[in-house]
Amino acid sequence: MKPYQKIAIIECGEPLVPIPLEHFAVESPHPYQKVGATYPEASPYHLRQSVLAALITAQAKLQNLHPGWRLQIFDAYRPVAVQQYMVDYTFAQVVQAEKHNPATLSDEQREAIWQKVYKIWAVPSHNPQTPPPHSTGAAVDLTLIDATGQVVDMGSAIDELSPRSLADYYANQPELPYHQNRQLLRDVMSAAGFRRHLDEWWHFSLGDQMWAWLGNQEHPEATVTARYGCVATMAVLS
């Protein structure tokens, strides 16, 4: 269990709604669908209603600073089944990259690989008290697109299994543009109410357990609870 999973959830019942993709940049096909993940309930481009409203606000703030720039959404709503698929897919990718034989992995090797996988991926839990953040519809992975339509270089790829994924990895390297670019993304998202994952420069949430936990770290005198738990099928609006 990660620290943020101890935060209480008081579900508000707000539905998932489709993201108006004409207002944002997106990857097409969706990166996880490209590797075989399926979304039977709703497309990944859904968020809770208030989270979507905040995302629209964040893009407006970005465009006030940099006309023509847009947020590029990499991933949003992720059912637990997709979380499981991507965890298993990432495990297999690490096995291949490290040139292991899947049939002869020792317990120690298997455990070491899972530790790497879970540095980025949340456990695909069906426990209503410990939902994966994206399965709440309150988390979004994204980056920036500049006025020429080019992806802004953040110094590492989304979902990269390396220390470069840490939000402040480049903080002490001012000669490189990556930290400044990451801070711009953080600033426009924070101004709209989101909080950034400490270990993933691309991951932002609003209203879930991680968001509440991060807020409590910033303000120890507060006791913030989460308002979004795992999305029920009936809560998905098309």
pLDDT of 220 reads 86
pLDDT of 45 reads 95
Domain borders along the chain are 3-80+133-235
Of the two residues 2 and 86, the one the predictor is more confident about is: 86
Average pLDDT of span 44-58: 97
What's at 132, amino acid-wise?
A: P
41 is catalytic: no
Query: Is it the case that residue 232 has pLDDT exceeding 80?
Result: no
- Architecture of domain 3-80+133-235 in CATH? 2-Layer Sandwich (3.30)
Beta bridge partners, 17, equal 47
Q: Residue 45: what are its φ and ψ, rounded to 5°?
A: -90, 60
Out of 160, 200, 218, 221, the active site residue is 200
Query: Is it the case that residue 46 has pLDDT exceeding 80?
Result: yes
pTM of the full predicted structure?
Answer: 0.94
